[in-house]
Amino acid sequence: MDTTSNSKHRPFSIKLWPPSESTRLVLVQRLTNNLSSNSIFTQKYGALNKEDAEENAKKIEDIAFNVANEQYDREPDGDGGAAVQLYAKECSKLLLEVLKRGPEKEKELASQNNASAETFFDISKGQRAFIKAEEAENLLRPLKEPGNSYTKICFSNRSFGLEAARVAEPILVSLKNQLKEVDLSDFIAGRPETEALEVMNIFSAALEGSVLKSLNLSNNALGEKGVRAFGSLLKSQNCLEELYLMNDGISEEAAKAVCELIPSTEKLKVLHFHNNMTGDEGALAISDVVKRSPLLEDFRCSSTRVGSGGGVALAKALESCTNLKKLDLRDNMFGVEAGVALSKALSKHLDLVEVYLSYLNLEDEGTVAIANVLKESAPSLEVLEMAGNDITAAAAPTIAACIAAKQHLTKLNLAENELKDEGTIQISKALEEGHTLLKEVDMSTNFIRRAGARHLAQVVVQKPGFRLLNINGNIISDDGVDEVKEVFQKYPDVLGSFDENDPEGDDDDGENSGEGEANEDELESKMKNLEVGQEE
């Protein structure tokens, strides 16, 4: 089992998720008060008694937490801000649903719920820690109750040793015919390799033959030995719709083992391989899995050390996945050749909603190929990320034409490129017409000066519901920063920080700040009447 960590060093940031137990308890209390105390809503729909309000508050918070936690699992590199927002949104939505049902309906539903058991069993909350046999007995006791209806279990965030695994074994055997979703992510942390492999073998044998729709084995440093330890379980799965193998040390050999051990992926819709050390040879094995997954809707193979050869193989495999809605290939070493190959695959993906292609070394040629294809396909595209690809202003007309056609766009990330004022103004003009759903634009670190920053700010501030403009890390003059802040004076929270902006910085052409400032008005004047359209 390969336990080598291949995670990258990230800048320090405050994690907003998950909330502490005390925070969750406070929220339950607030929800209880909102359900039982006098308010506009309880006057209209009726208030619940204190006991029913507290019971419903706990359920609301628990459901909202799980929904938000799934969001955070899909974006593990984020600070948790999106999960926090979703957490609050779900609580508000569920609170209103309970109130609208009214006290009498709640009594009826409570009676029905008491007649049947819960379907989701989760021990992942609380402190990440080892679990001993006695604690396992207590924690897993609800799973032993006759007639229980659990179809989804989550053992994540607790580390099982041999004794705890032997407690879980007969329980899992008794449940396997009713289970549909199993989450065993991060469940052997800190265990010696020999013990960890034996634990995995126990769980695998216990669940063998179950008919699962979702299996999550992420964050377990599996390596090839770990993948093969789950061999009996993987071989028995013919109906999997979701498979998560993130941060598992999936090397070339481990990837080949995955390809070998999963007999059928005909129903697979979600396949995630984030943060592994797959490499080109491993990507060839993963591409075989993708080829056999015609229903694939969500494919993530980010931060997997895949180069040009592996990128081309994955791109060709993706041509058969015409149902793809979300594609995340960030942080690999594809290069131009793989970028061009990917553009051919994207022409077949009409249902794409989210595309994450940052840090792939696409350069202008690969970027132009992809942008040209996306312009004609993916009519419902909402998220486009192409940060860190050495894109220059020469590619801006094609990118702008693509963006102009994407009226459902909510998030655009072109950070850490070399678009400068010229490219930034062209892209800004592409956003002028429509784009009423736009929420976030990141053009940080692009050698943008005063003119580009001002034009972009004036465009996005007009969008209803816009939440964040990030133009940090550029070379905007102090006067330019003041102008942008003036544009956002009514919405200061929407404008990102300027703490890494360098007003005296030089761009790659060696222009000093004075020369750059002198040319800005001339540049903006030249581009004032620019038409955004398809590049010849």
Structural contact between residues 112 and 149, judged by C-beta atoms closer than 8 angstroms: no
Domain of 79 in residue numbering reads as 21-101
Q: Do residues 66 and 188 share a domain?
A: no
**Is 315 a domain residue?**
no
Q: Give one DSSP letter per residue of 190-204, joined into a string.
A: T--HHHHHHHHHHHH
Taking phi over 0 as left and psi of -120 to 50 as alpha, with beta for the rest, 272 belongs to beta
What phi and psi values does residue 385 have, to the nearest 5 degrees?
Answer: -125, 120
Q: Do residues 122 and 260 share a domain?
A: yes
**Is 178 a domain residue?**
yes
**Is 93 a domain residue?**
yes
**Is 146 a domain residue?**
yes
The model's pTM: 0.76
The CATH number of whichever domain residue 82 belongs to comes to: 1.10.246.200
Q: Do residues 82 and 184 share a domain?
A: no
- DSSP code for 395: G
Q: Do residues 139 and 208 share a domain?
A: yes
The CATH number of whichever domain residue 198 belongs to comes to: 3.80.10.10
Q: Do residues 161 and 249 share a domain?
A: yes
| Domains identified in the chain, total number | 2
* HEC secondary structure over 158-191: EEECHHHHHHHHHHHHHHCCCCCEEECCCCCCCC
**Is 536 a domain residue?**
no
Dihedral (Cα; 77, 79, 81, 82), 10-degree rounding: 0
Per-residue pLDDT of the chain (536 residues; tens, 9 = 90+): 544 444 333 344 456 778 877 788 788 888 888 888 887 777 777 888 887 888 888 888 888 888 777 777 766 667 777 878 888 888 888 888 887 777 655 555 554 444 344 799 999 987 888 999 999 999 999 999 988 999 999 999 999 999 999 999 999 999 999 999 999 999 999 999 999 999 999 999 999 999 999 999 999 988 999 999 999 999 999 999 999 999 999 999 999 999 999 988 999 999 999 999 999 999 999 999 999 999 999 999 999 999 999 999 999 999 999 999 999 999 999 999 999 999 999 999 999 999 999 999 999 999 999 999 999 999 999 999 999 999 999 999 999 999 999 999 999 999 999 999 999 999 999 999 999 999 999 999 999 999 999 999 999 999 999 999 999 999 999 999 999 999 999 999 999 999 999 998 876 554 444 444 545 555 455 444 555 444 43
Dihedral (Cα; 339, 344, 349, 355), 10-degree rounding: 10
Q: Do residues 166 and 257 share a domain?
A: yes
- DSSP code for 247: T
Give the integer Cα–Cα distance in Å for 276 and 129: 24
Give the integer Cα–Cα distance in Å for 130 and 187: 9
Q: Do residues 57 and 83 share a domain?
A: yes
